[in-house]
């Protein structure tokens, strides 16, 4: 991005979609983001800000003039605006609200009153409603009179006089069925409406299970308050899946790859510190066997192998559990069956690789007892890893802690402790003079 390239960048930015501009901004080092941003066409500001991750968004917002920010919010759908407005300076928020007409302001305030990770926070309240006792012909004339429909409207919602949700009327039915029929005869009633306080994760699951494109949202009294379309849910699905992988490494799922060094360092320091604490636990176990180690140095050479194999075996079980728990495949009721299976796998692989390690150790150090000891320690550690891999996530779930968060740190501590104790303990018993 030298100044020569800058001149060529501007037309390129004009040709890109806001989502692509957002990706470009995320992949540019912090220092150059402001320059790129200044070349983004103003009409793309709003959508681009919606597409960048949280960190980059607040960075850009901080640097923008209030008037430009205000302009960027124009034309944003209500559900997106409700998320966006939370990141704006208070003064801009007030101006945004002031610039809206009464109906839209009320809509925005309604969406903002729900937590952003609930159906209420995901929904858009620009629904088109019709009555059950009119004919399709009347509905058709009403729509033609309106002239336009909100973005991605594929279905109309049928409500009673008191606003209670009764069913859906797809545009596909509207254009294919006999215009003289009543709405109530042809509407779909088999889809249960989502309640406004349903957690976003459950909304996402419902959409995936039923292959939905859009769904009605009702308040506790059954009154229609909005609709959720699948493009809002896609973000939830992706974020959820990404959440596990980032959390398992102690990272935030919105982590900016070019976050300021101080901020990145601070965040990761916490994770390294937690690991250090548990590493010292493992070191103390090793410390118990100082006398043995000073006599049989081969034990010190081989002990990382036992610990490492336990860690790998355990993390396979752990990953399977974390995914199974989040998909709902695994619960307390089938955990015992799963434990039995994982134990069997652990014993088989423990014996297999234990034998291999044992033979290599025997040849390397010319000591058959040492070979036997490492083989046995490896089997013990695989068994411990299986128990820990199944047990830790279940225990964390019971304590309402996200198993992805600390699961791997706790697991490797346990496999280290078991591995070192088993190997060095057996060594102390059978190898000392």
Smallest separation (angstroms) from a second copy to the CB of 50: 10
Which range, of 4-12, 96-104, 117-125, 201-209, touches a second copy by CB under 8 A? 201-209
Q: Kindly tell me which residue out of 124, 319, 381, 421 binds a second copy, with binding defined by CB under 8 A.
A: 319
- Verify binding: residue 191, a second copy, rule CB under 8 A: no
Our finding on whether 207 is near a second copy (CB under 8 A) is yes
- Cα–Cα distance measured from residue 322 to residue 329, given in angstroms and rounded to the nearest whole number: 10
- 307 class by beta-carbon count within 10 Å (0-12 exposed, 13-18 middle, 19+ buried): buried
**Site stretch for a second copy (CB under 8 A), options 66-74, 101-109, 215-223, 255-263:** 255-263
Q: Exposure pattern of 323-335 as b/e (b: 16+ CB <10 Å)?
A: ebbbeeebeeeeb
Site for a second copy contains 39 (CB under 8 A): no
Q: Which stretch binds a second copy (CB under 8 A): 59-67, 97-105, 215-223, 320-328?
A: 320-328
Asked if residue 203 binds a second copy (CB under 8 A), the reply is no
| Cβ nearer to a second copy, comparing 339 with 372 | 339
Across the chain, which distance is largest between two alpha carbons, in Å? 99
Sole binder of a second copy in the list 301, 363, 369, 429 (CB under 8 A): 301
Instruction: Scan residues 149-168 and list those touching a second copy (CB under 8 A).
Output: 149, 152-154
Residue 87 within binding range of a second copy, rule CB under 8 A? no
Q: Work out which of 42, 62, 90, 211 binds a second copy, going by CB under 8 A.
A: 211
Cβ–Cβ contacts within 10 Å for residue 231, how many?
11
166, 169, 217, 302: residue in contact with a second copy (rule CB under 8 A): 302
Taken in order 219, 223, 226, 231, is the CA torsion positive or negative? positive
Instruction: Closer to a second copy by CB, 117 or 255: give it.
Output: 255
User: Cβ of residue 227: shortest distance to a second copy, in angstroms?
Assistant: 13
Measured from the CB of residue 331, what is the shortest distance to a second copy in angstroms? Answer: 7
Q: What is the dihedral of CA 298, 300, 306, 311, to 10 degrees?
A: -160
User: Segment near a second copy (CB under 8 A), from 38-46, 98-106, 114-122, 352-360?
Assistant: 352-360
- State yes or no: residue 62 binds a second copy (CB under 8 A): no
Q: Contacting a second copy (CB under 8 A), which of 62, 65, 90, 209?
A: 209
Given candidates 13, 134, 171, 372, which one binds a second copy under the rule CB under 8 A? Answer: 171
Between 70 and 206, name the residue whose CB sits nearer to a second copy: 206
- Report how many residues bind a second copy under the rule CB under 8 A: 115
Cα 51 to Cα 206: distance, rounded to the nearest angstrom: 24
Task: Say which residues have a Cβ less than 8 Å from residue 352's Cβ, sequence separation at least 6.
Answer: none
Q: For residue 360, state whether it binds a second copy (rule: CB under 8 A).
A: yes
> In the set 338, 383, 392, 394, which binds a second copy (CB under 8 A)?
338
Among positions 386-415, residues that touch a second copy (CB under 8 A) are 412
**Which residue's CB is nearer to a second copy, number 286 or number 387?**
286
308 binds a second copy (CB under 8 A): yes
Residue 110, interface with a second copy (CB under 8 A)? no
Q: Which of residues 268-287 bind a second copy (CB under 8 A)?
A: 268-269, 271-273, 275-276, 279-280, 282-283, 286-287
Q: Contacting a second copy (CB under 8 A), which of 91, 176, 189, 202?
A: 176
Of the candidate residues 148, 180, 220, 433, the single one contacting a second copy (CB under 8 A): 148
Examine residue 12 and tell whether it contacts a second copy (CB under 8 A): no
Q: Contacting a second copy (CB under 8 A), which of 75, 208, 368, 369?
A: 208
Give the one residue of 7, 8, 146, 161 binding a second copy; rule: CB under 8 A.
Answer: 146
CA of residue 399 relative to chain centroid, distance? 20
């Amino acid at each position: 991005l030298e100044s020569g390239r800058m001149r060529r960048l501007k037309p390129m930015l004009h040709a890109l979609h806001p989502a692509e501009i957002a990706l470009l901004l995320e992949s540019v080092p912090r220092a150059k983001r402001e320059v790129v941003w200044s070349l983004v066409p103003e009409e793309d500001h709003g959508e681009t800000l919606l597409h960048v991750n949280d960190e980059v968004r607040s960075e850009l917002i901080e640097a923008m003039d209030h008037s430009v920010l205000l302009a960027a919010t124009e034309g944003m759908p209500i559900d997106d605006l409700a998320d966006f407005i939370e990141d704006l300076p208070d003064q801009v928020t007030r101006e945004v609200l002031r610039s809206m007409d009464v109906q839209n302001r009320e809509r925005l305030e309604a969406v903002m009153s729900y937590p952003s990770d609930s159906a209420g926070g995901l929904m858009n309240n620009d629904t088109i409603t019709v009555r059950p006792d009119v004919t399709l012909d009347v509905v058709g004339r009403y729509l033609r009179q309106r002239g336009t429909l909100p973005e991605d409207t594929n279905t109309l919602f049928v409500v009673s006089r008191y606003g209670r949700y009764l069913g859906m009327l797809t545009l596909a039915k509207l254009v294919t069925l006999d215009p003289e029929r009543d709405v109530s005869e042809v509407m779909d009633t088999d889809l249960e409406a989502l309640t406004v306080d349903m957690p976003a994760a459950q909304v996402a699951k419902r959409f995936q299970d039923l292959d939905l494109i859009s769904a009605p949202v009702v308040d506790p009294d059954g009154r229609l308050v909005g609709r959720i379309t699948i493009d809002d849910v896609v973000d939830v699905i992706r974020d959820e899946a990404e959440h596990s992988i980032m959390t398992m490494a102690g990272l935030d799922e919105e982590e900016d790859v070019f976050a300021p060094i101080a901020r990145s360092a601070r965040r990761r320091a916490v994770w390294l510190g937690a690991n250090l604490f548990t590493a010292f636990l493992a070191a103390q176990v090793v410390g118990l066997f100082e006398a043995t180690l000073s006599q049989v140095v081969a034990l010190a050479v081989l002990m990382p192998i036992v610990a490492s194999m336990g860690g790998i075996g355990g993390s396979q079980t752990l990953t399977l559990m974390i995914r199974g728990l989040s998909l709902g495949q695994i619960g307390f009721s089938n955990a015992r069956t799963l434990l039995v299976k994982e134990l069997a796998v652990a014993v088989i692989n423990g014996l297999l690789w234990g034998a291999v390690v044992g033979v290599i150790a025997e040849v390397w150090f010319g000591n058959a007892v040492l070979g036997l000891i490492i083989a046995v320690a490896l089997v013990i550690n695989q068994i411990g890893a299986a128990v820990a891999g199944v047990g830790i996530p279940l225990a964390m779930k019971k304590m309402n802690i996200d198993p992805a968060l600390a699961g791997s740190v706790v697991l490797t501590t346990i496999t280290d402790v078991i591995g070192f104790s088993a190997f060095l303990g057996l060594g102390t018993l059978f190898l000392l003079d």
